Protein backbone atom coordinates (compact mmCIF):
# COMPACT_ATOMS: atom_id res chain seq x y z
CA UNK A 1 0.00 0.00 0.00
CA UNK A 2 2.90 2.39 0.67
CA UNK A 3 3.71 2.49 -3.06
CA UNK A 4 0.20 3.58 -4.05
CA UNK A 5 -0.53 7.22 -4.98
CA UNK A 6 -1.91 9.18 -2.03
CA UNK A 7 -5.55 9.14 -3.10
CA UNK A 8 -5.46 5.40 -3.88
CA UNK A 9 -4.08 4.75 -0.40
CA UNK A 10 -6.96 6.73 1.06
CA UNK A 11 -9.48 4.73 -0.98
CA UNK A 12 -7.86 1.47 0.13
CA UNK A 13 -8.04 2.54 3.76
CA UNK A 14 -11.70 3.47 3.28
CA UNK A 15 -12.44 0.01 1.87
CA UNK A 16 -10.80 -1.56 4.91
CA UNK A 17 -12.97 0.60 7.17
CA UNK A 18 -16.10 -0.51 5.33
CA UNK A 19 -15.11 -4.19 5.55
CA UNK A 20 -13.82 -4.36 9.08
CA UNK A 21 -15.43 -1.42 10.86
CA UNK A 22 -13.87 1.51 12.73
CA UNK A 23 -10.28 1.49 13.87
CA UNK A 24 -10.14 0.68 17.60
CA UNK A 25 -9.43 3.44 20.09
CA UNK A 26 -9.15 3.55 23.86
CA UNK A 27 -12.18 5.22 25.42
CA UNK A 28 -13.08 6.24 28.93
CA UNK A 29 -15.38 8.52 30.90
CA UNK A 30 -13.78 11.48 32.64
CA UNK A 31 -14.56 13.06 35.99
CA UNK A 32 -14.71 16.53 37.54
CA UNK A 33 -12.58 17.54 40.50
CA UNK A 34 -15.07 20.38 41.04
CA UNK A 35 -18.61 19.06 40.70
CA UNK A 36 -20.41 20.89 37.91
CA UNK A 37 -24.20 20.92 38.34
CA UNK A 38 -25.30 18.11 35.96
CA UNK A 39 -23.70 19.72 32.90
CA UNK A 40 -27.12 20.74 31.65
CA UNK A 41 -25.54 22.24 28.54
CA UNK A 42 -26.16 19.90 25.64
CA UNK A 43 -23.16 21.21 23.66
CA UNK A 44 -19.83 21.69 25.48
CA UNK A 45 -16.73 22.42 23.37
CA UNK A 46 -13.04 21.57 23.83
CA UNK A 47 -9.72 23.02 22.69
CA UNK A 48 -6.01 22.44 23.30
CA UNK A 49 -4.35 24.68 25.88
CA UNK A 50 -0.92 26.24 25.36
CA UNK A 51 0.72 24.53 28.32
CA UNK A 52 -0.41 20.99 27.53
CA UNK A 53 -3.75 21.43 29.24
CA UNK A 54 -7.19 20.90 27.70
CA UNK A 55 -9.92 23.53 28.03
CA UNK A 56 -13.69 22.96 27.96
CA UNK A 57 -16.38 25.64 27.62
CA UNK A 58 -20.09 25.15 28.10
CA UNK A 59 -23.11 27.32 28.77
CA UNK A 60 -25.98 26.63 31.11
CA UNK A 61 -28.82 28.77 29.80
CA UNK A 62 -31.90 29.47 31.87
CA UNK A 63 -34.02 27.97 29.11
CA UNK A 64 -32.41 24.60 29.85
CA UNK A 65 -32.64 24.91 33.63
CA UNK A 66 -29.23 26.50 34.16
CA UNK A 67 -28.10 29.70 35.84
CA UNK A 68 -27.30 31.72 32.69
CA UNK A 69 -23.50 31.43 32.94
CA UNK A 70 -20.71 29.95 30.80
CA UNK A 71 -18.19 27.73 32.58
CA UNK A 72 -14.57 27.37 31.49
CA UNK A 73 -13.08 24.14 32.85
CA UNK A 74 -9.47 22.96 32.63
CA UNK A 75 -7.82 19.56 32.65
CA UNK A 76 -4.09 19.21 33.35
CA UNK A 77 -4.01 15.42 33.00
CA UNK A 78 -4.99 15.02 29.36
CA UNK A 79 -8.73 15.36 29.86
CA UNK A 80 -9.19 12.73 32.56
CA UNK A 81 -10.27 15.11 35.33
CA UNK A 82 -11.65 18.64 35.16
CA UNK A 83 -11.98 21.75 37.32
CA UNK A 84 -13.85 25.00 36.64
CA UNK A 85 -11.47 27.96 36.39
CA UNK A 86 -13.88 30.81 35.61
CA UNK A 87 -17.49 31.82 34.90
CA UNK A 88 -18.87 34.29 32.35
CA UNK A 89 -22.31 35.85 32.61
CA UNK A 90 -23.80 34.99 29.24
CA UNK A 91 -27.10 33.15 28.89
CA UNK A 92 -25.95 30.75 26.22
CA UNK A 93 -26.14 27.13 25.11
CA UNK A 94 -23.20 27.09 22.66
CA UNK A 95 -19.74 28.41 23.64
CA UNK A 96 -17.35 27.70 20.78
CA UNK A 97 -13.66 28.46 21.29
CA UNK A 98 -10.88 28.76 18.70
CA UNK A 99 -7.22 29.79 18.68
CA UNK A 100 -5.94 32.84 16.82
CA UNK A 101 -2.51 32.96 15.21
CA UNK A 102 -1.36 35.52 17.81
CA UNK A 103 -2.05 32.96 20.56
CA UNK A 104 -5.29 34.40 21.93
CA UNK A 105 -8.31 32.28 22.64
CA UNK A 106 -11.52 33.60 21.10
CA UNK A 107 -15.02 32.45 22.02
CA UNK A 108 -18.42 33.13 20.49
CA UNK A 109 -20.99 34.15 23.13
CA UNK A 110 -24.53 35.46 23.13
CA UNK A 111 -27.54 36.11 25.32
CA UNK A 112 -30.67 34.10 24.72
CA UNK A 113 -34.07 35.60 25.47
CA UNK A 114 -36.75 33.04 26.24
CA UNK A 115 -40.49 33.31 26.51
CA UNK A 116 -41.45 30.70 29.09
CA UNK A 117 -39.79 27.43 28.16
CA UNK A 118 -40.27 27.78 24.41
CA UNK A 119 -36.68 27.10 23.32
CA UNK A 120 -37.52 26.81 19.62
CA UNK A 121 -38.49 30.45 19.15
CA UNK A 122 -35.77 32.65 20.57
CA UNK A 123 -33.76 35.73 19.72
CA UNK A 124 -30.00 35.74 20.11
CA UNK A 125 -27.63 38.70 20.00
CA UNK A 126 -24.12 37.45 19.34
CA UNK A 127 -20.52 38.58 19.74
CA UNK A 128 -17.06 37.39 20.73
CA UNK A 129 -14.71 37.65 23.68
CA UNK A 130 -10.96 36.97 23.81
CA UNK A 131 -8.55 35.68 26.45
CA UNK A 132 -4.77 36.13 26.72
CA UNK A 133 -4.37 33.94 29.85
CA UNK A 134 -5.79 30.62 28.69
CA UNK A 135 -9.40 31.27 29.60
CA UNK A 136 -9.05 32.72 33.08
CA UNK A 137 -10.09 36.24 32.16
CA UNK A 138 -11.91 37.51 29.07
CA UNK A 139 -12.33 40.78 27.20
CA UNK A 140 -15.49 42.80 26.93
CA UNK A 141 -18.07 41.70 24.39
CA UNK A 142 -17.41 42.64 20.76
CA UNK A 143 -20.72 42.43 18.95
CA UNK A 144 -21.34 40.85 15.57
CA UNK A 145 -24.36 42.66 14.17
CA UNK A 146 -26.52 40.52 11.90
CA UNK A 147 -29.98 41.74 11.02
CA UNK A 148 -32.19 38.74 11.66
CA UNK A 149 -35.08 38.11 14.07
CA UNK A 150 -33.62 34.68 14.79
CA UNK A 151 -29.87 34.02 14.87
CA UNK A 152 -28.49 30.66 15.95
CA UNK A 153 -24.90 31.23 17.04
CA UNK A 154 -23.53 27.88 15.91
CA UNK A 155 -19.82 27.27 15.50
CA UNK A 156 -16.50 29.01 16.17
CA UNK A 157 -14.92 32.06 14.59
CA UNK A 158 -12.14 30.71 12.37
CA UNK A 159 -9.01 32.64 11.41
CA UNK A 160 -8.09 31.66 7.86
CA UNK A 161 -4.54 31.30 6.52
CA UNK A 162 -5.06 34.58 4.64
CA UNK A 163 -5.70 36.37 7.98
CA UNK A 164 -9.44 36.92 7.58
CA UNK A 165 -11.90 35.83 10.23
CA UNK A 166 -14.90 33.77 9.18
CA UNK A 167 -18.07 33.12 11.14
CA UNK A 168 -20.96 30.91 10.02
CA UNK A 169 -24.14 31.07 12.12
CA UNK A 170 -27.57 30.46 10.64
CA UNK A 171 -30.58 32.71 10.55
CA UNK A 172 -34.29 32.14 10.54
CA UNK A 173 -37.46 33.83 9.44
CA UNK A 174 -40.06 33.80 12.18
CA UNK A 175 -43.65 34.90 12.53
CA UNK A 176 -42.78 36.75 15.76
CA UNK A 177 -39.31 37.34 17.31
CA UNK A 178 -40.25 35.41 20.47
CA UNK A 179 -43.41 33.53 19.66
CA UNK A 180 -42.50 32.19 16.21
CA UNK A 181 -43.21 30.02 14.37
CA UNK A 182 -39.93 29.42 12.49
CA UNK A 183 -40.71 29.79 8.79
CA UNK A 184 -37.29 29.35 7.15
CA UNK A 185 -33.69 28.61 8.22
CA UNK A 186 -30.66 29.69 6.17
CA UNK A 187 -26.91 29.18 6.77
CA UNK A 188 -24.85 32.33 6.29
CA UNK A 189 -21.19 33.37 6.32
CA UNK A 190 -19.72 36.70 7.41
CA UNK A 191 -16.11 37.83 7.01
CA UNK A 192 -13.98 40.26 9.00
CA UNK A 193 -10.79 41.77 7.58
CA UNK A 194 -9.96 43.84 10.68
CA UNK A 195 -9.72 41.28 13.49
CA UNK A 196 -13.41 41.22 14.29
CA UNK A 197 -14.06 44.95 14.51
CA UNK A 198 -16.40 45.02 11.52
CA UNK A 199 -18.08 42.27 9.52
CA UNK A 200 -19.25 41.86 5.95
CA UNK A 201 -22.83 41.58 4.87
CA UNK A 202 -24.10 38.01 5.23
CA UNK A 203 -23.27 35.67 2.37
CA UNK A 204 -25.98 33.11 1.74
CA UNK A 205 -25.67 29.56 0.48
CA UNK A 206 -28.09 28.36 -2.17
CA UNK A 207 -30.50 25.47 -1.80
CA UNK A 208 -29.04 22.02 -2.31
CA UNK A 209 -28.66 20.50 -5.76
CA UNK A 210 -31.68 18.32 -4.95
CA UNK A 211 -33.79 21.38 -4.06
CA UNK A 212 -33.29 21.05 -0.32
CA UNK A 213 -33.88 24.32 1.52
CA UNK A 214 -33.50 22.87 5.02
CA UNK A 215 -29.80 23.70 5.37
CA UNK A 216 -28.57 25.10 8.70
CA UNK A 217 -25.24 24.51 10.50
CA UNK A 218 -22.15 25.18 8.39
CA UNK A 219 -18.39 25.11 8.83
CA UNK A 220 -15.78 26.23 6.30
CA UNK A 221 -12.06 25.75 5.67
CA UNK A 222 -9.54 27.41 3.38
CA UNK A 223 -7.79 24.64 1.47
CA UNK A 224 -5.50 26.92 -0.53
CA UNK A 225 -5.13 30.54 -1.72
CA UNK A 226 -8.16 30.21 -4.01
CA UNK A 227 -9.93 27.14 -2.66
CA UNK A 228 -12.54 26.96 0.09
CA UNK A 229 -14.90 24.19 1.17
CA UNK A 230 -18.06 24.29 3.29
CA UNK A 231 -19.76 21.37 5.03
CA UNK A 232 -23.43 22.11 5.69
CA UNK A 233 -25.94 20.26 7.84
CA UNK A 234 -29.43 19.64 6.57
CA UNK A 235 -32.50 19.38 8.80
CA UNK A 236 -34.61 17.91 6.06
CA UNK A 237 -34.60 17.12 2.36
CA UNK A 238 -37.15 16.34 -0.36
CA UNK A 239 -36.81 12.65 0.49
CA UNK A 240 -36.80 13.03 4.28
CA UNK A 241 -34.36 14.19 6.93
CA UNK A 242 -30.92 14.23 5.36
CA UNK A 243 -27.32 14.98 6.29
CA UNK A 244 -24.37 16.85 4.95
CA UNK A 245 -23.93 18.89 1.83
CA UNK A 246 -20.60 20.15 0.46
CA UNK A 247 -20.05 23.47 -1.33
CA UNK A 248 -16.90 24.99 -2.85
CA UNK A 249 -15.67 28.51 -3.53
CA UNK A 250 -12.64 30.21 -5.07
CA UNK A 251 -12.97 33.44 -3.06
CA UNK A 252 -15.05 32.62 0.05
CA UNK A 253 -17.93 34.74 -1.21
CA UNK A 254 -19.41 32.94 -4.20
CA UNK A 255 -20.32 29.34 -3.40
CA UNK A 256 -21.29 26.41 -5.59
CA UNK A 257 -24.65 24.68 -5.29
CA UNK A 258 -24.32 22.34 -2.28
CA UNK A 259 -24.18 18.64 -3.17
CA UNK A 260 -25.31 15.93 -0.78
CA UNK A 261 -22.70 13.80 0.97
CA UNK A 262 -25.33 11.06 1.37
CA UNK A 263 -25.06 10.94 5.13
CA UNK A 264 -27.16 12.05 8.10
CA UNK A 265 -25.52 14.22 10.71
CA UNK A 266 -25.18 17.45 12.59
CA UNK A 267 -22.65 19.91 14.01
CA UNK A 268 -19.86 19.74 11.41
CA UNK A 269 -16.31 20.86 12.21
CA UNK A 270 -13.25 20.77 9.93
CA UNK A 271 -9.73 20.27 11.32
CA UNK A 272 -6.37 20.47 9.59
CA UNK A 273 -4.26 17.66 11.02
CA UNK A 274 -1.27 17.43 8.69
CA UNK A 275 -1.32 16.01 6.13
CA UNK A 276 -5.08 15.36 6.32
CA UNK A 277 -8.28 17.33 6.52
CA UNK A 278 -10.69 15.85 9.07
CA UNK A 279 -14.45 16.48 9.07
CA UNK A 280 -16.07 15.61 12.41
CA UNK A 281 -19.80 15.43 13.07
CA UNK A 282 -22.59 13.74 15.00
CA UNK A 283 -23.93 11.00 12.76
CA UNK A 284 -27.48 9.69 13.01
CA UNK A 285 -28.20 6.09 12.01
CA UNK A 286 -31.93 5.44 11.52
CA UNK A 287 -31.51 1.65 11.64
CA UNK A 288 -30.69 1.71 15.35
CA UNK A 289 -32.02 5.20 16.19
CA UNK A 290 -28.63 6.18 17.59
CA UNK A 291 -26.28 9.17 17.37
CA UNK A 292 -22.62 8.37 16.72
CA UNK A 293 -19.48 10.42 17.10
CA UNK A 294 -17.99 10.22 13.60
CA UNK A 295 -15.39 11.65 11.25
CA UNK A 296 -14.20 11.48 7.65
CA UNK A 297 -10.72 12.20 6.31
CA UNK A 298 -9.50 13.77 3.08
CA UNK A 299 -6.14 14.53 1.51
CA UNK A 300 -7.46 17.46 -0.51
CA UNK A 301 -10.56 18.60 1.40
CA UNK A 302 -12.76 17.76 -1.58
CA UNK A 303 -12.93 13.95 -1.79
CA UNK A 304 -13.77 12.40 1.57
CA UNK A 305 -13.47 8.88 2.97
CA UNK A 306 -16.34 6.81 4.29
CA UNK A 307 -17.45 7.75 7.85
CA UNK A 308 -15.42 6.41 10.73
CA UNK A 309 -17.35 5.98 14.00
CA UNK A 310 -15.75 6.63 17.38
CA UNK A 311 -18.54 5.93 19.88
CA UNK A 312 -22.33 5.72 20.10
CA UNK A 313 -24.83 7.51 22.32
CA UNK A 314 -23.48 11.07 22.05
CA UNK A 315 -24.99 14.54 21.79
CA UNK A 316 -22.20 16.36 19.98
CA UNK A 317 -19.63 16.13 17.22
CA UNK A 318 -16.22 14.92 18.42
CA UNK A 319 -13.76 17.70 19.25
CA UNK A 320 -10.20 16.70 18.32
CA UNK A 321 -7.43 17.82 20.68
CA UNK A 322 -3.73 16.97 20.55
CA UNK A 323 -2.67 15.67 23.98
CA UNK A 324 1.04 14.88 23.96
CA UNK A 325 1.57 12.33 21.20
CA UNK A 326 -2.09 11.34 21.10
CA UNK A 327 -5.03 12.74 19.18
CA UNK A 328 -8.02 12.64 21.53
CA UNK A 329 -11.70 12.99 20.61
CA UNK A 330 -13.77 14.58 23.39
CA UNK A 331 -17.54 14.26 23.56
CA UNK A 332 -20.39 13.82 26.01
CA UNK A 333 -23.20 11.37 26.37
CA UNK A 334 -26.88 11.40 25.62
CA UNK A 335 -29.17 11.28 27.50
CA UNK A 336 -26.58 11.38 30.33
CA UNK A 337 -25.10 14.75 29.42
CA UNK A 338 -22.86 14.85 32.49
CA UNK A 339 -20.86 11.93 31.09
CA UNK A 340 -17.76 13.32 29.35
CA UNK A 341 -15.77 10.87 27.23
CA UNK A 342 -12.28 10.82 25.74
CA UNK A 343 -11.22 8.49 22.93
CA UNK A 344 -7.78 8.19 21.39
CA UNK A 345 -8.14 8.42 17.60
CA UNK A 346 -5.68 7.00 15.09
CA UNK A 347 -6.04 8.64 11.70
CA UNK A 348 -5.16 6.58 8.63
CA UNK A 349 -1.54 6.80 7.50
CA UNK A 350 -0.86 8.46 4.15
CA UNK A 351 2.70 7.26 3.53
Whole-number Cα distances in Å, 308 to 253, 302, 318, 346: 31, 17, 11, 11
pLDDT classification of 18: cutoffs 50, 70, 90: very low
In percent, the amount of the chain with pLDDT more than 70 equals 77
Report the 10 Å Cβ neighbour count for 275: 10
123 — phi, psi (to 5°)?
Answer: -115, 135
Evaluate whether 218 touches 235 at the Cβ level (below 8 Å).
Answer: no
Residue 15 has pLDDT above 50, yes or no: no
Per-residue pLDDT tens for 83-128? 899 999 998 888 999 999 999 999 999 887 654 444 444 556 789 9
Q: For residue 311, which of 275, 277, 336 has the smallest C-alpha distance? A: 336
Q: How high is the pLDDT of residue 346?
A: 92
Per-residue pLDDT tens for 61-79? 877 777 889 999 999 999 9
CATH number for the region 6-345 comes to 2.120.10.10
Domain ranges of the chain: 6-345
Return the bridge partners of 97, or none: 107
Quote the CA–CA distance of 75 and 324 in Å, as a whole number. 13
Q: For residue 59, which of 16, 13, 97, 18 has the smallest C-alpha distance? A: 97
Quote the CA–CA distance of 252 and 279 in Å, as a whole number. 19
Quote the CA–CA distance of 167 and 286 in Å, as a whole number. 31
Residue 329 has pLDDT above 80, yes or no: yes
Amino acid sequence: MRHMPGYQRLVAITVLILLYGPMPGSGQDTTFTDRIPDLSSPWPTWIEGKDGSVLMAYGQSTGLGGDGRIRIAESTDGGRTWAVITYLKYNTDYAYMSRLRDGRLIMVVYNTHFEGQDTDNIYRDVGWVASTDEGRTWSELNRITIDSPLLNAYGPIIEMPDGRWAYSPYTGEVGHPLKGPVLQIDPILVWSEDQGKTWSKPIEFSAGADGNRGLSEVTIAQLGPTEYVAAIRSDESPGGWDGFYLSRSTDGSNWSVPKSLADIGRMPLIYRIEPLWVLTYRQYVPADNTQYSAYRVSEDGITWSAPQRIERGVNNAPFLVRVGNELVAFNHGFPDRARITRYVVELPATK
